[in-house]
Structure 1
Amino acid sequence: MGTDFKKRTRSAVERHSDALVALSHSIHAEPELAFREHRSAAKVADLLEGSGFEVERGTADLETAFTATYGSGDLVVALCAEYDALPEVGHACGHNVIAAASTGAGLALRDLADELGLTVKVIGTPAEEVGGGKVLMLERGAFDGVGLAMMVHPAPYEAVAARSLALTDLEVRYTGRPSHAAAAPHRGINAGDALTVAQVAIGLARQHFEPGQMISGVVTRGGAAPNIIPAHTSAVYDLRADDLDSLTGLEERIRNCFRAGAVATGCDHEVVQVSPPYAELTPDQWLADAYRRAATELGRNPMSPEEEQREKIGSTDMGNITRALPSIHPTIAIDCGDAVNHQIEFATACASASADRALLDGALALAWTTIAAASDADQRARLIAGAVGAS
């Protein structure tokens, strides 16, 4: 990788630093939930469009997705920009930093696209927290022709190829019959009891989960009033496992727990899959090694590969992308004290000076990783040949 390319991308990130930090803070200040990120998507797309990218809005028939493209080279790099927030705690997963870092990497690579034979795509990917935006976009062709895909995610620690868990989310709905809870309880069919039986069954099943399997959930409907036998209840559960195969076995067990609630009480029930399943991350080793070198040169201190295997970063729809084409999903550390992702204190840290530094370093590390891949003849050929839809 030429020193000149590195200097030029560093200069570009520095030149755009004020705009990138402002973008991150603006998204952070107006958190929007999955598939409703209209302002956030527009902020990212508008900045790229104003910088010479050709922008397609509503990619893959998703209102808050977009694709911003610059260049026409045969090696296509996708920089994934997430920008959805969490209910109640806002940007407690730092997607504002992700969006700004991918935008910064795109801007840094823009002026090198012709020299490196690149097509640079910043792809706005909504609904990572729930909804599986990347899965839908992958299935609908948004990543066709892409040779490598990358993003960088803020966290309390620095990791290049940490593991994630496969995920599926299920909503169970019970339907019984209402009645007066004191005068005629025998005339009711209690959907609250059905949910309680299911919860107890799940609690007992945990003893027998395979290593790596886990479940968490919330009751979304518990009844209308204490003097009415509940006729309708519901809950949403996240099921996770080390990989999709293990997840399939866990899902069968949990569906039986849901069925037990219905059988025990006489309720009807249905189970709805909320999002498409998320696969576990399978990062590309060569790209991960290139990113590690870049991050280290920038003064970052990623944990060792051995340490990374002991860490799990939850679940992400980027896992599906890594299974379809060479991709990486490193984490970048921010100063957040004892806080972790999905805590309000972490949300506060994601608009701090440390987060601002992380997004600029992350943008540069992604750009340097792309340059390394584009400049290596063997890797370039591998990535072009392995692009989604390549013949």
Structure 2
Amino acid sequence: MTVTPTLCRAVEHDAARLIALSHDLHAHPEVAWEEVWSSARVAGELADAGFTVESRYLGLDTAFRASAGSGPLHVALCAEYDALPGLGHACGHNVIAAISSGAGMALARLADDLGLTVHVLGTPAEEGGGGKIELLDRGAFAGMHVAALVHPGPVDVAKAEPYAVSHSRIAYRGTAAHAAAYPERGVNAADAFTVAQVAIGLLRQQLPAGTRVHGVVTRAGDAPNAIPAYAEGRWYVRASDLSELAAVEERVRRCFDAGAVATGCELSVEPESKPYASFRNDAELTELYETAARELGRTFGTGPDSRMNRASTDLGNVSQVIPAIHPYIGIDSLPAVNHQAEFAAAAITPAADTAVVQGAQALALTLARAATDEAVRQRLLGGGQA
């Protein structure tokens, strides 16, 4: 079966609605677990395209599953749509949702001919909430043979190499006092963070190459003449895999312990989600994606501009269970890069709109060719990873 022109034309036919979807999501940014409007907007688009939609999927208010076709090979295209606090869609999840929707709509037209059941999964809270991990634990990927999405970045990169990452909420509790009249009666929670951050800064020299430790203090007092009784922040630790992550986390925890010991504060460390695993790329699917993208005129970047493929994703946990890909598609944003306000602005430019269309085409072609290559198809049906 020759699927290339049919699928490409199908995406082109839907281009205006996909770009409108991307722009609408961009105009209504919602953060993790609060994507009520965004999830409904994406699910509604798929319902209008003939998909059967299950809202509040598996008990998650802003998750959904949209399905079409009845073939034995089940593919899950993940739609992300959460934004960043204070930055909006500075990671371009509006583009991801539109690409996954467009690829799903195109594949649905040929699903039975290709022997596919096409699922577009609405996956909330990628930016720190671990929505896909929750969905994985609740059985959303049971019976799926492939999981995939295409993520925007400054340049195209076929192979994802994300870190494992943990997300923690840190809090110190001390004692308030008048900073001028009774300073000796205070126990300064803000100072505890200062001690911890100095310790982390010194620790970085002794950490394995490539490890990342970073965070923000989100509250550290309310008035300059009152010693802060409470301070809190959010911290991420990244490493090459979950084993290394656990070892680094233990060392970082001791830095936070130091803040408590030095000041006399009480320390609380609470995980925001389960750790994100490193990503396991399916080699054959990655090659199929790169080939399809090059046929569409995409070129692949190298060097420091391609480092977005070293971020982290909750799709990493899924990739440890079933074959998966997570390629990046460039939106011509340089010098702006992900998680900058300028990248958010670039996520609705003509280059980003082109990425929506070509990303959907490349993803659809990847999965269609996997379905029609007998060796790849049988491997996927058998649960194998390449």
TM > 0.5? yes
Provide TM-score, normalisation by structure 2: 0.96
The one-letter code sitting in structure 1 at the alignment partner of 2:357 is L
Structure 1 pair 302–368 and aligned structure 2 pair: CA distance change class (3 A): same
- Secondary structure at the aligned position of 1:386 is classed as coil
Structure 1 pair 311–84 and aligned structure 2 pair: CA distance change class (3 A): closer
Is 1:161–1:308's contact at 8 Å kept on the other side of the alignment? no
Is 2:166–2:274's contact at 8 Å kept on the other side of the alignment? yes
The one-letter code sitting in structure 1 at the alignment partner of 2:366 is T
- 254, 274, 277: which is aligned to 2:275? 277
TM-superposed CA distance for 1:13, in Å, is 0.6
Mean Cα deviation higher: 312-321 or 334-343? 312-321
**Which residue of structure 1 aligns with residue 369 of structure 2?**
372
**Which residue of structure 2 aligns with residue 268 of structure 1?**
266
- 361, 380, 384: which is aligned to 1:383? 380
**Which residue of structure 1 aligns with residue 132 of structure 2?**
134
**Which residue of structure 2 aligns with residue 124 of structure 1?**
122
**Which residue of structure 1 aligns with residue 360 of structure 2?**
363
- Secondary structure at the aligned position of 1:19 is classed as helix
Determine the C-alpha separation between the residues in 1 that align with 2:170 and 2:41.
36
- Secondary structure at the aligned position of 2:310 is classed as coil
- Secondary structure at the aligned position of 1:275 is classed as coil
CA shift digits 1:138-195 (9 cap, x unpaired): 1111111000011001111111103111111112111111122222222222212222
Is 2:293–2:362's contact at 8 Å kept on the other side of the alignment? yes
- Return structure 1 stretches of 4+ with deviation > 6 angstroms: 306-311
TM-superposed CA distance for 1:312, in Å, is 4.0
Determine the C-alpha separation between the residues in 2 that align with 1:137 and 1:51.
24
Tell me whether 1:293 sits opposite 2:300 in the alignment: no
TM-superposed CA distance for 1:113, in Å, is 0.8
- 36, 45, 56: which is aligned to 1:38? 36
- Secondary structure at the aligned position of 1:112 is classed as helix
TM-superposed CA distance for 1:275, in Å, is 2.1
RMSD: 1.7
Percent identity between matched residues is: 52
Determine the C-alpha separation between the residues in 1 that align with 2:38 and 2:309.
28
Q: How many residues align?
A: 385
**Which residue of structure 2 aligns with residue 25 of structure 1?**
23
Is 1:165–1:312's contact at 8 Å kept on the other side of the alignment? no
**Which residue of structure 1 aligns with residue 202 of structure 2?**
204
Determine the C-alpha separation between the residues in 2 that align with 1:175 and 1:387.
50
Tell me whether 1:185 sits opposite 2:183 in the alignment: yes
- What runs of 5+ residues in structure 1 fail to find an aligned partner? none
TM-superposed CA distance for 1:112, in Å, is 0.8
Structure 1 pair 30–308 and aligned structure 2 pair: CA distance change class (3 A): closer
CA shift digits 1:92-144 (9 cap, x unpaired): 11111100000000110011111111100000001111201111101111111
**Which residue of structure 1 aligns with residue 300 of structure 2?**
302
Structure 1 pair 312–10 and aligned structure 2 pair: CA distance change class (3 A): closer
- Secondary structure at the aligned position of 1:128 is classed as coil
Mean Cα deviation higher: 283-292 or 215-224? 215-224
Is 2:52–2:66's contact at 8 Å kept on the other side of the alignment? yes
**Which residue of structure 1 aligns with residue 323 of structure 2?**
326
